[in-house]
Structure 1
């Protein structure tokens, strides 16, 4: 089994891929499999959140690219910025993990939340997409790896 205990530069070419949904990318201790089927054990600092594009250093020197797996989600758009902000407010009030993009929101698929959003008059579309929710304002300090401008979504939380 390949052991992974640290990050490496996003500049390094990847030898392997680790494809995981967000729920599993939040675990700092995890036994899972690479895309090739090889077993891997993650032993990262507690509180680490893996993001798509992160690169990890294997104990044997291999570089493992983290890939955010497509997962069932809801894409929310609205006719106006106000309507979208209102939807974000109501989702935030329920502490829903939320990915924020230019003119859209993404959240995990949930029929109760979909009904609420429909009631708010926003457009909701079911999709399978990589889910990269906001890290949160109170989750500890954030630490960025690699290219800040080209890959600003790579944030790791440490408690």
Structure 2
């Protein structure tokens, strides 16, 4: 089994042998087994504190194998509003609950939670279940709470 121990910023010039689709949560874990769609298993043993981004490259100590991190589609809830102030209020309430949140000017995204969905619907917001890559904010201090 190949053990990836080093991460590098995205670089189009490096030959990549493996694409590693990782969920948002998996991109925050530095010690884990990853199984690809092809049934291959790899192990991440990276320095603690690293949060991988799509496009980042991983390699083993010998640099014989290179892998590219890609954002794996996952179940998420997309929140939309008719007015930007309503979306800001939703971001405030979700932030108060320390929910990993993807924030754009048009929508918010978070992992499915029926209680939060109910709260948002009661606030008059539109929610939609989707399967898509999830890119939550890393936070003001660059770390992730789960």
Q: TM-score, normalised by structure 1?
A: 0.80
Structure 1 position 9, deviation (Å): 4.1
Q: Residues 36-68 of structure 1, C-alpha deviation per residue, up to 9 Å, x if partnerless? A: 322211111112222222211234422201122
The alignment of Structure 1 onto Structure 2 pairs a total of residues equal to 141
Structure 1 position 27, deviation (Å): 1.1
Match of 1:121 among 121, 124, 140: 124
State the SS of the aligned residue for 1:7: strand
Counterpart-to-counterpart distance in 2, 1:56 and 1:102: 32
Q: Is the 8 A contact 1:74 1:109 kept in 2?
A: yes
Structure 1 position 137, deviation (Å): 1.0
Counterpart-to-counterpart distance in 1, 2:65 and 2:37: 14
State the SS of the aligned residue for 1:48: coil
Match of 1:50 among 49, 52, 77: 52
Greater strand share, 1 or 2? 1
Q: Partner residue of 1:153?
A: none
Q: Is the 8 A contact 2:9 2:55 kept in 1?
A: no
Counterpart-to-counterpart distance in 1, 2:103 and 2:8: 27
Counterpart-to-counterpart distance in 2, 1:61 and 1:36: 20
For structure 1, the residue ranges without an aligned partner over 5 or more in a row are 141-156
Of the structure 1 ranges 9-18 and 43-52, higher mean CA displacement relative to structure 2 is found in 9-18
1:106 aligns with 2:136: no
Match of 2:139 among 136, 139, 142: 136
Q: Is the 8 A contact 2:84 2:105 kept in 1?
A: no
Q: Is the 8 A contact 1:2 1:60 kept in 2?
A: no
For structure 2, the residue ranges without an aligned partner over 5 or more in a row are none
Q: TM-score, normalised by structure 2?
A: 0.87
Q: Partner residue of 2:2?
A: 2
Of the structure 1 ranges 58-67 and 111-120, higher mean CA displacement relative to structure 2 is found in 58-67
Counterpart-to-counterpart distance in 2, 1:102 and 1:55: 29
State the SS of the aligned residue for 1:115: helix
Q: Is the 8 A contact 1:16 1:35 kept in 2?
A: no
State the SS of the aligned residue for 2:5: strand
